[in-house]
Amino acid sequence: MALPIHASIGEHIWHYCFIAICVSVFFFLIFPILIIFPLSFNQQPYFSFTAEMLRLQPDAYTTKWYQEFFTSLNWQGAVKNSFIIAFFSTIISTFLGTLAALGLSRPDFPFKTTIMGLLISPMVVPLIISAAGMFFFYSRIGLQGTHVGVILAHSALATPFVVIVVTATLSGFDHSLTRAAASLGSPPTHTFFHVTVPLIIPGVISGALFAFITSFDEVVVVLFVGSYNQRTIPWQMFSGIREQISPTIMAVATILITMSVILLILLELLRRRNERLRGITPH
């Protein structure tokens, strides 16, 4: 990006204008997220800064919203549900998605595009339509308003991410490795667990992380397929914003952002490990 020495004045001006534009766009991206931290410590039950907060008076700040989050039954139930639902959806979607990705990435798979399109469709169809369809159908078969219903719905929504991530990992997979193992007398299952699995496991884990986040962050489907007893954190936040605005939501938001930063770092580390491993395999 550095300017060459021979750049003209006009180019200099444009260069700094460009930097200024980029900085303001980044500001637009990040500022709304940063604003949440101070607001979550607001003494007053509003979504705005008080004059006392701006003067940095210590009594304008409080941790009571965090206390409320950790003690309120509504929120604790939501946390429990979120983890239960995300955990089971992740297991189901990772298992089924990885199996399917293994099948789909075989070179002679028939009707690949059609089947891939159908398997990915939960990611493409707008959530409100998935939610509507699932609501009608699940209430007909008695799954609406049950944990099982929400888990099944979230698993369906999360599988495309697993399929895409694991298929991408497998596309760099060197099939001559399994042939080499076979030629050395290894039976297929042994090859699978000792050659294939160690190589694709980073892909599977990042697929699982995607699945977990999908379920953990999902709100439209859970609003329709679930009810109060299946309330997740986003469900509780949605009804909280609609009914009574309290900075507890900001406290929850702060905790969620911290979680997503941790996940982001985790994914980045996995990506690096994956690239390192792929670097070893010749193409």
* Binding to other proteins, residues 162-191 (CB under 8 A): 163-165, 167-168
Looking at residues 204 to 233 of the shown chain, list those that interact with other proteins (rule: CB under 8 A): 206, 210, 213, 217, 219-220, 224
| 264 scored as a contact of other proteins (CB under 8 A) | yes
Q: How far is the CB of 237 from other proteins (least distance, A)?
A: 4
| 67 scored as a contact of other proteins (CB under 8 A) | no
State which amino acid sits at residue 34. Answer: L
| 36 scored as a contact of other proteins (CB under 8 A) | yes
C-beta of residue 151 within 8 angstroms of C-beta of residue 225: no
| 269 scored as a contact of other proteins (CB under 8 A) | no
Q: How far is the CB of 183 from other proteins (least distance, A)?
A: 16
C-beta of residue 227 within 8 angstroms of C-beta of residue 145: yes
Q: How far is the CB of 185 from other proteins (least distance, A)?
A: 19
C-beta of residue 249 within 8 angstroms of C-beta of residue 237: yes
Tokens for 227, please give them: 């009810």
| 89 scored as a contact of other proteins (CB under 8 A) | no
State which amino acid sits at residue 100. Answer: A
Q: Which of 53, 86, 57, 45 is nearest to 249 (CA)?
A: 45
Backbone torsions φ then ψ of 8, nearest 5 degrees: -80, 175
Q: How far is the CB of 136 from other proteins (least distance, A)?
A: 6
Q: Which of 3, 33, 197, 269 binds other proteins (CB under 8 A)?
A: 33
Chain mean position to CA 52: 37
| 244 scored as a contact of other proteins (CB under 8 A) | no
C-beta of residue 224 within 8 angstroms of C-beta of residue 134: yes
| 266 scored as a contact of other proteins (CB under 8 A) | no
| 88 scored as a contact of other proteins (CB under 8 A) | no
Q: Which of 281, 160, 164, 141 is nearest to 225 (CA)?
A: 141
- Total of chain residues touching other proteins, rule CB under 8 A: 94
Helix, coil or strand: residue 46: coil
Rounded Cα distance between 248 and 261, Å, is: 20
Looking at the Cβ atoms of 144 and 199, the one nearer to other proteins is 144
Rounded Cα distance between 250 and 49, Å, is: 13
61 pairs with which residues across the strands?
Answer: 42
Q: How far is the CB of 63 from other proteins (least distance, A)?
A: 18
Looking at the Cβ atoms of 180 and 245, the one nearer to other proteins is 245
Contact segment (CB under 8 A) with other proteins among 58-66, 70-78, 194-202, 248-256 equals 248-256
Looking at residues 107 to 146 of the shown chain, list those that interact with other proteins (rule: CB under 8 A): 108-110, 113, 115-122, 124-138, 140
C-beta of residue 177 within 8 angstroms of C-beta of residue 281: yes
Looking at the Cβ atoms of 199 and 224, the one nearer to other proteins is 224
